[in-house]
Amino acid sequence: MGTHARRAGRILAWYQSDVRPLFPDTAALFCDTHGRPLKPETARDRPARLLKAEGRPESDRFTPHDLRRACATHHYEQGMDLPVVQQPLGHRHIASTMAYVRPSLTFVEDARRRATQDAVTGLTG
């Protein structure tokens, strides 16, 4: 498990043990400071705002949507087929998933190199 996953796990464990019990009458898993369900726009914008408040450069800021893209790209680069990546993202069309996946230049260069080598090997037998 990577460093980011461990940190996220610790944060979620803290939330579930220390924060969530403060709002026992609320059905929502994530609540605002008043015990109301967290609004989607708050969850979407909060990471970037907190990183900005910390003084982090723009290049360090992200949104949950960025995390979806990163997850899709990671799975694709690890060899997962696009239809398999598509399923947890909930995309109806594979084209939407293809737009999410943004492989690194290194990944693209390595894939091109392997394909060229396979073609040369096939021709030279």
Q: According to the model, what pLDDT value does residue 3 have? A: 58
Any domain includes 105: yes
Number of domains in the chain: 1
Contact 43, 33 (CB under 8 A): no
pLDDT digits (tens, 9 = 90+) for 69-85: 888 999 999 999 999 99
**Residue 97 covered by a domain:** yes
pLDDT of 58 higher than 90: no
Residue 69 included in any domain: yes
**In this prediction, what percent of the chain has a pLDDT beyond 70?**
92
Task: Give 87-107 pLDDT, tens digit per residue.
Answer: 988 899 999 999 989 999 999
**48 belongs to a structural domain:** no
Establish if 121 belongs to a structural domain: yes
On whether residue 88 sits in a domain, the answer given is yes
Q: Note whether residue 59 is domain-resident.
A: no
pTM of the predicted model over 0.95: no
As given in the structure block, the two tokens for residue 96 are 């939407």
Reported as type and span, the H/E element at residue 46 is: helix 40-53
Of 55, 57, 73, nearest in space to 65 by CA: 73
Which residue segment(s) compose the domain that 88 sits in? Answer: 65-125
| 35 falls within a domain | no
